[in-house]
């Protein structure tokens, strides 16, 4: 376990990088991601406020709207759980931010690029690449259509995947990924040793973690997200119950049980893969052999565990 508040929790992420004290760390992080041709010398956080109602509302996205000196707008967010319609939401938010720039009477040439930077504490994309960048390009010769739309997706569970294509200049960003996604102090220490900027951010996080207000906001946010997970579990259980009822109506009692357990195993595999990335064959085998009474417990545990070993530690053999 890490001794500080967890920066992969969106409210802690925003408190850390959205505060005036965090401007230097925010600039360092954006520089590592965007690799701009000209240095980022200043940023403006357009929504630094953090109303308590937003913290307790599990439907609210606690993102950071950032403005650069050249007019470029950047939306930075941290997301812990996979939610339905994630990709559509990202595009919708981008379109809303892009279109909101124009004042009455202004021409379209006044529009500035909008960049979305999304940190995910689960696996969304195929492959081992932990930083994926999307742009508008022609499919054959890759001619750029416009630089107005840029999406960066950074998947924290893949931070230790060791992608062969990772470049040396990505070392700074990888240190940030390990700092943000770390589940224990040892990984935090290693990230700080790799980057002075990360070490500065960790010092700020340590001070923030001592704040009673930050502790309370983090607790309330964790509880709100826990209720969201409970709602998902309730929906899943209702779907299973409906399947059981249909099976009973058809007189397929044995097949019903087997189908239910098989479906639960698939749900558990998806949860583990989103939480920890690719699964070793041994872990996959243990899931496929899990008994019905173990599966629900393991699904719930997987949402809060810091490692696969922790997930399986209480599993009866």
175, 210, 245 - which closes a domain: 210
DSSP letter (8 states) at residue 50 = -
Q: For the residues 103-113, what does the mean pLDDT come to?
A: 86
Torsions phi, psi for 101 (to 5 deg): -70, -30
Calpha distance 113→70 (Å, rounded): 10
Task: Please report which confidence band the pLDDT of residue 317 belongs to, taking 50, 70 and 90 as the band edges.
Answer: very low
Give the number of other CB atoms < 10 A from CB of residue 174.
19
Report how many domains make up the chain.
Answer: 2
> Do 153 and 173 meet the contact criterion of CB atoms below 8 Å apart?
no
Residue range(s) defining the domain that contains residue 200: 10-210
Say which range, 47-56, 235-244, 275-284, has the weakest mean pLDDT: 235-244
DSSP letter (8 states) at residue 181 = H
Assess if residue 247 is contained within a domain.
yes
Looking at the structure, tell me whether residues 33 and 165 fall in a common domain. yes
Looking at the structure, tell me whether residues 96 and 168 fall in a common domain. yes
Looking at the structure, tell me whether residues 81 and 40 fall in a common domain. yes
Calpha distance 23→26 (Å, rounded): 5
154, 177, 210 - which closes a domain: 210
Assess if residue 3 is contained within a domain.
no
Residue the block writes with tokens 């220490």:
189
Looking at the structure, tell me whether residues 206 and 279 fall in a common domain. no
Looking at the structure, tell me whether residues 251 and 170 fall in a common domain. no
Looking at the structure, tell me whether residues 164 and 246 fall in a common domain. no
pTM of the model: 0.71
234: helix, strand or coil: helix
Assess if residue 317 is contained within a domain.
no
Residue 154's alpha-carbon distances to 49, 132, 181, 183, in angstroms, are 25, 7, 11, 17
Looking at the structure, tell me whether residues 181 and 223 fall in a common domain. no
Task: Please report which confidence band the pLDDT of residue 139 belongs to, taking 50, 70 and 90 as the band edges.
Answer: very high
Task: Please report which confidence band the pLDDT of residue 174 belongs to, taking 50, 70 and 90 as the band edges.
Answer: very high
242 versus 118: the higher-pLDDT residue is 118
152, 187, 210 - which closes a domain: 210
Say which range, 58-62, 106-110, 159-163, 202-206, has the weakest mean pLDDT: 58-62
Give the number of other CB atoms < 10 A from CB of residue 143.
9
Q: Please compute, for residue 291, the number of CA atoms within 13 A of its CA located in the half-sphere on the CB side.
A: 5
For residue 165, the model assigns a pLDDT of 43
């Amino acid at each position: 376990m890490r001794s500080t508040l967890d920066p992969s929790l969106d409210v802690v992420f925003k408190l850390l990088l959205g505060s005036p004290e965090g401007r230097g760390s925010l600039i360092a992080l954006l520089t590592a991601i965007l690799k701009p041709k000209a240095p980022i010398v200043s940023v403006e956080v357009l929504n630094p406020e953090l109303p308590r109602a937003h913290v307790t509302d599990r439907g609210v996205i606690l993102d950071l709207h950032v403005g650069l000196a050249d007019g470029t707008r950047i939306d930075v967010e941290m997301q812990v759980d996979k939610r339905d319609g994630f990709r559509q939401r990202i595009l919708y938010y981008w379109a809303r931010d892009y279109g909101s720039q124009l004042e009455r009477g202004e021409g379209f040439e006044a529009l500035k690029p909008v960049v979305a930077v999304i940190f995910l504490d689960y696996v969304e994309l195929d492959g081992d690449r932990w930083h994926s960048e999307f742009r508008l390009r022609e499919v054959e010769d890759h001619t750029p259509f416009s630089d107005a739309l840029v999406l960066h997706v950074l998947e924290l569970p893949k931070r230790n995947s060791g992608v062969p294509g990772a470049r040396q200049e990505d070392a700074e960003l990888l240190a940030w990924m390990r700092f943000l996604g770390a589940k224990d102090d040892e990984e935090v220490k290693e990230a700080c040793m790799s980057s002075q900027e990360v070490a500065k951010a960790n010092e700020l996080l340590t001070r923030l973690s001592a704040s009673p207000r930050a502790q309370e906001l983090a607790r309330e946010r964790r509880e709100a997200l826990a209720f969201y997970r409970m709602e998902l579990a309730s929906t899943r259980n209702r779907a299973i119950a409906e399947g059981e009822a249909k099976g009973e109506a058809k007189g397929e009692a044995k097949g019903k049980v087997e189908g239910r357990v098989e479906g639960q195993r698939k749900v558990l595999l998806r949860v583990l893969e989103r939480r920890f990335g690719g699964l070793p064959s041994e872990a996959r085998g243990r899931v496929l052999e899990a008994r019905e009474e173990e599966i629900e417990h393991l699904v719930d545990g997987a949402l809060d565990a810091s490692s696969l070993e922790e997930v399986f530690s209480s599993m009866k053999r």
